[in-house]
Amino acid sequence: MNIIKQLQPIKQGARAAKDSCKGDFFTRLLEHLPIKVLNLSSSWGSTHSVYLYGICDMGLWLHTGVSSNFIMIVRWKLTVKSRKWYGPRPIDLDILFYGSQTVNTDTLTIPHERIWERPFVMGPLIDLLGFDADNDTMKSWHQLSRHSGGLFEAWEKLGGESLIGKDGMKRVLPVANQLWNCSTKTSIMGILNVTPDSFSDGGKFLSVESAVSQVRSMLTEGADIIDLGAQSTQPMASKLSPEQELDRLIPVLEAVKNMPEMEGKLISVDTFYSQVALEAVNKGAHLVNDVSAGQLDSDMHNVVAALKIPYIAMHMRGDPSTMQNHENLAYDNVCVDVASELYMHVKDAELSGIPAWRIIIDPGIGFSKNTEQNLDILMGLPAIQSEIARRSVAVSHAPILIGPSRKRFLGEICGQPTADQRDPATIAAITAGVMGGANIVRVHNVRDNRDAVKLCDAMLQRRRRNSV
């Protein structure tokens, strides 16, 4: 494996990471050279640096001399305007490891001699590696760290996960020309269903005018993201075609996109159709929220990969009409099984070209779960992360979205048969989820849940400070 550190400046926010002409040059260069990117780490940022940091595993594609020369060419191409070789540049590349080899020449040292002292390198590296030390190459990297516990011990000695939130260290998600920080601030996703049959607000926002008014209210109350859905996913709801869904969605999406209040806010589209996702993103949506994690449309992952936007992958068995069938509620251990199944869907997404740092995971509260299982999920977010971490540290650190808002299980527990009477129970569920590790909460009542989230964030910040 050839592990290369990529650094990209964040002065232009996500544009540098996503769609600047220089970034496009590097992407095109990779596409036309004998290089295969096998894996990518999370994307990291720091308030003390103008760079984004990430690690990619590129396979043993060239011998070290050619690899080094390739990097020199890329650096030169991307700094040709300024001609300042040692000055600021839009991208920096370093070879951290090259298989199990060590190299020490006048122009190249492998492993990179300063890996062990740089948290902004070690963090993404650990995200990339995961805990799989079965192959000889990875074992050699752990040995080269000069720590008995390998790279993981080296990371822990630097501070490990406790560094998140300190000195500006954070995992970030480039989206819509901004860097979305999910590490220290919980984001609020406001729900807007333009459907006649959704369980809570069906029929309320079918007109463009009523939809825009509701979005304005949610933004005023503190929503960071507006989640637009034009197809109900409650059990036994009528299934629309992609064309029918688009007919409902696009007029509202276009109106919402043009609202002045949307400046700096994000729009997600709640759909399991790739055709709807493609059209919605072309019309201004920033994220795709897929309740099936790609299982209901085989083209979804490829389409999202080509769109280069964040992807929310939710756990569900079957489809909305079958998800509550007996066989879809059978789990040996709901947290372990959900983690395993969700990871496999995310792995499929990665293989289709969606990097781990663009993926948000949702354990699917209320989908293919009964009341007791929903409670286990809500209390078991750390267990789900730990189970995923056995397979991929990067995926285990993906932002977690939870959506318990007004769900039936809350009504069953609290004796509230009417959906809009479940807001107090929703607040309790959201509080439990955020304290357990949720980064994004999807809610109908933005105002009241905003206050709960603010309190949770304050308590979590206090916990981090007290742990120093």
Q: Report the C-alpha gap between 431 and 82 in whole angstroms.
A: 51
- Residues 307, 313 contacting (CB under 8 angstroms): no
Active-site residue, selected from the candidate residues 170, 265, 407, 450: 407
C-alpha dihedral, 391 to 393 to 396 to 397, nearest 10°: -170
Identify the helix (H) or strand (E) that includes residue 120: helix 119-129
Both tokens of 274, joined, read 């790739």
- In degrees, to the nearest 5, what angle opens at C-alpha 45 toward C-alphas 180 and 23? 85
pLDDT interval class at 29 (50, 70, 90)? very low
Pick from 288, 266, 270: which is nearest to 352 by CA?
288
Name the one residue in this structure whose structure tokens are 């780490």.
41
* pLDDT number for residue 105: 79
Which segment, 4-8, 100-104, 160-164, 254-258, is predicted with the most confidence on average? 254-258
2-172 CATH: 3.30.70.560
| Tokens 């869907």 -> residue | 345
Which has more confidence, 36 or 8?
A: 36
Contacts of 316 (CB under 8 A, 6+ apart): 291, 292, 293, 295, 323, 364, 367, 368
Closest C-alpha among 270, 253, 271 to residue 262:
253
Asked if residue 62 has pLDDT above 70, the reply is no
DSSP single-letter state for residue 205 = S
Residue in 91, 95, 116, 92 with CA at minimum distance from that of residue 104: 95
Share above pLDDT 90 across residues of the chain, in percent, rounded to a whole number: 51
Superfamily classification of domain 185-466: Dihydropteroate synthase-like (3.20.20.20)
In this prediction, residues 146-153 reach a mean pLDDT of: 81
Mean model confidence pLDDT for the chain: 83
442 is a catalytic site residue: yes
Name the pLDDT band for 137 (thresholds 50, 70, 90): confident
The band of 91, judged by pLDDT with boundaries at 50, 70 and 90, is low
Residue 127 has a pLDDT of 82
Q: What is the rounded CA–CA span in Å between residue 288 and residue 98?
A: 36
Per mean pLDDT, which range of 86-100, 167-181, 265-279, 317-331 is the poorest? 86-100
CA gap 45, 175 in Å, rounded: 14
Rounded to 5 degrees, what angle do the CA atoms 128, 130, 131 make? 155
Please identify which of the residues 171, 248, 265, 442 carries the catalytic annotation: 442
Burial string for 170-187 (b: 16+ CB within 10 Å, else e) reads bbbbbbbebbbbbbbbbb
> What is the predicted pLDDT for the residue at 285?
97
Residue-level pLDDT at 34: 54
Rounded mean pLDDT of 5-18?
Answer: 40
- What DSSP line would sit under 338-366, residue for residue? HHHHHHHHHHHHHHTT--GGGEEEE--TT
Q: Identical fold at 2-172 and 185-466?
A: no
Q: What is the arithmetic mean of pLDDT over 341-356?
A: 93
Average of pLDDT values for 115-126?
85
Query: Other C-beta atoms within 10 Å of 126: how many?
Result: 24
Q: How far apart are CA 115 and CA 154, in angstroms?
A: 10
Rounded to an integer, the average pLDDT of 163-178 is 78
With 70 as the cut, is the pLDDT of residue 14 above it? no
- Give the start-to-end residue ranges of the domains of the chain: 2-172, 185-466
Which stretch, 5-14, 166-175, 232-241, 416-425, has highest mean pLDDT? Answer: 416-425
Of the listed ranges 35-39, 142-146, 268-272, 330-334, the one predicted with least confidence: 35-39
Lowest mean pLDDT of 82-96, 179-193, 239-253, 448-462, name the range: 82-96
